[in-house]
Amino acid sequence: MRDPSGHRARSLSAAGVETVRGDLGDPESLRAAFFGAHGVFSVQPNSGQAGADVSNEDEVRFGAAVAEFAERCGVAHLVYSSAVTAGSTTGVDHLDTKSRIEAHVRNLDIAGTIIRPATFMELLVTPEMGLDRGHLSFLMRSDQAMQFIAVRDIGRIVAVVFGSPDRYASRTMEIAGDALTGNALAENLTRAAGRMISYSRLPTTLPGQDEVLGKLEALVDDGTLAGNANLDALRAEFPFLLRFDRWLAGPGAGLLDQALRSSDTGIAPR
């Protein structure tokens, strides 16, 4: 935590979690944060996130620093959260950073597990997606399947990994909870919202964004970004994984409600 006195940190403390200060911009602070820890779960912000004030080189530097200090501090198990595109050269800078960090982790003398989460379900119901206007646009075609995962389930998987280090050390796992076409997304959202939600693929003609969007859609088309996790095997191994409809009825309900009301709350879709 950069600020152990902040609201999120205080909420964790109230739940019985011990918080310590750590700042990715201050690598030496990681030494104190990692001291005595059994495991480190490494997640970095990246330049592809809306509002992220980091560069691609910042992300690689942060990811390398976390891994190196985990090794130096004698941490028993490092889990790095990568992306489904890692291992491929995508031509999209904020995706290719993950492959660089993975390579760095593998070169260190520390037991490590790399997880490659699918696209977050949460991304589909942000206020910017336009659900308040009764429509969703995303990267795949209407009849094309893409894999997704609930963010909560990523943490649950990592908890299982830390609990069984011998089973998961040195593994690289692509993880997802569901696979849905654009039309299936719309059907699930329509049922959960109680009103019609339609779907179409994002146009690649948005000013200043066509090059990146075009690359992302090509990565979905060739399967690199669509995801290739074995869902049946994952559900057998991690039975708590949420399908999209269950996520919408549970952890995602509040987010969906906010997205449907975004115009009323003054949040303008971009």
pLDDT of residue 210: 61
Q: What is the pLDDT of residue 19?
A: 85
Among 178, 227, 223, 215, which Cα is nearest to 94's?
A: 215
Structure confidence at residue 121 (pLDDT): 98
| pLDDT score at 209 | 55
**Strand (E) positions, 15-101?**
39-42, 77-81
- What is the per-residue pLDDT for 269? 34
Let me know the angle formed at the C-alpha of 100 by 119 and 92, rounded to the nearest 5 degrees: 50
Q: 223 with 217: CB under 8 angstroms?
A: no
Find, among 131, 136, 259, 237, the residue nearest to 177 by Cα.
Answer: 237
In the numeric block, which tokens belong to residue 169?
């050390």
- Residue 159 and residue 176: Cα distance in Å, rounded? 16
CATH architecture of 1-117: 3-Layer(aba) Sandwich (3.40)
Q: Name the token pair of 185.
A: 């997304």
pTM of this prediction? 0.91
Per-residue pLDDT of the chain (270 residues; tens, 9 = 90+): 567 778 888 888 898 888 888 888 888 889 989 999 999 999 998 877 766 688 999 999 999 999 999 999 999 999 999 999 999 999 999 999 999 999 999 999 999 999 999 999 999 999 889 999 999 999 999 999 999 999 999 999 999 999 999 999 999 999 999 999 999 999 999 999 999 999 999 986 655 556 888 899 999 999 999 999 999 999 999 999 999 999 999 999 999 999 999 754 443 332
Tokens 């869902």 belong to: 231
pLDDT at 268: 36
One-letter amino acid of 97? T
At 206 the pLDDT is 55
